[in-house]
Chains A and B, each alone.
Chain A
């Protein structure tokens, strides 16, 4: 068991370290030589972008925390002081604020990539589920971060969302008091939210690590959704995907910079520049844009507990998705019947987001209900049934031998056999 690691490193210093702590070998294996399908499209950039985004959030967050004061009497003014008196404080804050939006844009695209190309299917179930855990942690982090500047939306958003827990039968009201640390959202709430907002991103780092470990066991999926059949189907991660990711990173940074420098408050809400006031309720309480679809689901049903259950259910259903989708074919490219349902699902999410921003009355309630119904139907009815009914298009033999037009064999019993074993 014991003994030095056999190192291939040429540099004597690196080699000396590598023999005792083989991190250089590990990095070389997992990030340089790592065999990667050669046919990725640009949707495969978004995982790397999400990782960069996480680092950006942590770095800017640490600098914000040096100047921020977590007290109801000072929080708003301390953020204004960051904006006005801290050197480049406005830059740090606007990066952090818009970074949260960019993070959700990137992660939502990353998730829809997975939904379209069937990346959640066996053997990548655990990889997918770890991703859903990251999404949940991100939501909790962003929600609590939004409370910190202690503006009107901070306060009322926190009040509305924490109040949801009062829907739990019997213990609900006690749980809410426990969450608040008092009888309303107040200083104890702000303090614990700051503490947790600082903690959760580091938990995210931990789960991201597991997510990547799981990825490196199964290898990446690809746009064809078939497993590489040999070395001719893969290329080393470096330099091919390092350079492609770098290019994608530049484009991402351009979009990010445009938001930060030219429209830093476009995605935010004007009311959050009004200091929190427990005595004045804003005309419309709306969460940040990235929560709107879930907010619409919450308000789609007249019953509070029902709404809360549906909202949490909309994430929970993602956990079991690998077992709901019965089709062995991963990529929607080869699923002519499933594809339109997928796009309708994407549209339903956008419509729900729109409805979430509107007052919960009249036609918007109906629209939210239709959207919510479709959201759950897609996972609970359409995907399970389609797998049985659909006749997928013929799959290519391998990644390097793309399917000939009209040719290629239809896998026997196409809807029964897991492809990677073909």
Chain B
């Protein structure tokens, strides 16, 4: 009797302890929750922040990471004008062709082009990055359990030195939030690394916040339209449900139960 009781207590303690055990093993660290403009049920993207975030992507991340699901024309959704978009697209050279002579050729980008990828293929990307692959960022917010909080935590979670007792890994960088902690991407953001067009001070956390907002938009460009439609659909259905219930009551009233 006492034995089985003790076993039950041990089993219960184990169940409770499992999540903590996983943490202690350094597997996945839950990123702290941030306040996002697009958070909650009704949030919308902060356009200014998303535009700054695009600047961060263009000037920093785009050196290594592609975003091949996004076209330059899509930038209109975060408030860039047509002229701005055309100018941005024209800054890159894209391969096109074949022309009438059967040759591939380079031309300036157009608004309808996808964001140009920094590397022609995965092998080329790995070759330059110590064998690691800088993933496509178009869907990164949806593709990680922690979503926007995770990306922000990752970008701001670098340490110059690993915690005491953790052996240094050559060519790798210690990050509080990357699963397993050692990441092949060096710290991408440092204070005042870029100069924001709108004069906002470019602190690491500001840039991380802005680029995360931009990535959140890139992953779910339909988010605002979806939520707005959702409000209307649910209001309509609620009224319809109320009316249907009234009719149901009326029809059933003549039945004796």
Given contacts A247-B241, A257-B233, contact A240 B252 (CB under 8 A): yes
The residues in B between 196 and 239 inclusive whose CB is less than 8 angstroms from any CB of A are 219, 221-222, 226-227, 229-231, 233-234, 237-238
Q: Give the complex CA separation of A101 and B209 in angstroms.
A: 34
B117-152 near A? 1/0 per residue, CB < 8 Å: 000000000000000000100110011110100000
Q: Is the CB of B143 within 8 A of A366?
A: no
The distance from the CB of A405 to the nearest CB of chain B, in whole angstroms, is 17
Given contacts A84-B69, A270-B144, A362-B14, contact A261 B233 (CB under 8 A): yes
Q: Give the complex CA separation of A260 and B232 in angstroms.
A: 13
Q: Is the CB of A271 within 8 A of B143?
A: yes
Residue of A nearest to B16 (CB): A363
A243 interface residue (CB < 8 Å to B): yes
Contact of A274 among B74, B143, B238 (CB under 8 A): B143
Q: Give the complex CA separation of A91 and B231 in angstroms.
A: 14
Q: For A274, list chain B residues within 8 Å (CB).
A: 135, 139, 143
Q: Is the CB of B15 within 8 A of A257?
A: no
Q: Is the CB of B230 within 8 A of A273?
A: no
Q: For B145, list chain A residues within 8 Å (CB).
A: 270
The distance from the CB of B26 to the nearest CB of chain A, in whole angstroms, is 13
Q: Is the CB of A80 within 8 A of B69?
A: yes
Contact of A240 among B69, B139, B245, B255 (CB under 8 A): B255
Contact of B234 among A38, A244, A254, A367 (CB under 8 A): A254
The residues in A between 251 and 280 inclusive whose CB is less than 8 angstroms from any CB of B are 251, 253-254, 257-258, 260-262, 264-265, 270-271, 273-274
Q: Is the CB of A261 within 8 A of B144?
A: no
The distance from the CB of A258 to the nearest CB of chain B, in whole angstroms, is 7
- Consensus secondary structure, chain B interface: helix
Q: Give the complex CA separation of A39 and B257 in angstroms.
A: 8
Q: Is the CB of A240 within 8 A of B221?
A: no
Q: For B240, list chain A residues within 8 Å (CB).
A: 250
Contact of B221 among A84, A247, A250, A283 (CB under 8 A): A84
Q: Is the CB of A273 within 8 A of B142?
A: yes
Given contacts A84-B69, A254-B238, A363-B11, contact A247 B244 (CB under 8 A): yes
Q: Is the CB of A273 within 8 A of B234?
A: no
B73-103 near A? 1/0 per residue, CB < 8 Å: 0100000000000000000000000000000
B18 interface residue (CB < 8 Å to A): yes
Given contacts A262-B41, A283-B179, contact A244 B248 (CB under 8 A): yes
Q: Is the CB of A261 within 8 A of B241?
A: no
Q: Is the CB of A363 within 8 A of B255?
A: no
Q: Is the CB of A262 within 8 A of B227?
A: yes
Q: For A39, list chain B residues within 8 Å (CB).
A: 257
The distance from the CB of B56 to the nearest CB of chain A, in whole angstroms, is 22
Q: Is the CB of B234 within 8 A of A261?
A: yes
Q: List 27 A-B contacts (CB under 8 A).
A: A80-B139, A84-B74, A90-B222, A94-B226, A243-B244, A244-B252, A246-B248, A247-B245, A250-B240, A251-B241, A253-B237, A254-B234, A254-B237, A260-B230, A261-B227, A261-B229, A261-B231, A261-B234, A262-B230, A270-B142, A270-B145, A271-B143, A274-B139, A274-B143, A358-B18, A362-B18, A363-B11
B251 interface residue (CB < 8 Å to A): yes
Q: For B241, list chain A residues within 8 Å (CB).
A: 247, 250-251, 254
Q: For B139, list chain A residues within 8 Å (CB).
A: 80, 273-274
A77 interface residue (CB < 8 Å to B): yes
A84-116 near B? 1/0 per residue, CB < 8 Å: 100000110010000000000000000000000
Q: For A206, list chain B residues within 8 Å (CB).
A: none
Q: Is the CB of A246 within 8 A of B11?
A: no
The distance from the CB of A326 to the nearest CB of chain B, in whole angstroms, is 32
The distance from the CB of A53 to the nearest CB of chain B, in whole angstroms, is 16
Q: Give the complex CA separation of A90 and B135 in angstroms.
A: 23
Q: Give the complex CA separation of A364 and B22 in angstroms.
A: 14
Q: For A175, list chain B residues within 8 Å (CB).
A: none
B247 interface residue (CB < 8 Å to A): yes
Residue of A nearest to B242 (CB): A250
Residue of A nearest to B245 (CB): A247
Q: For B222, list chain A residues within 8 Å (CB).
A: 83-84, 90
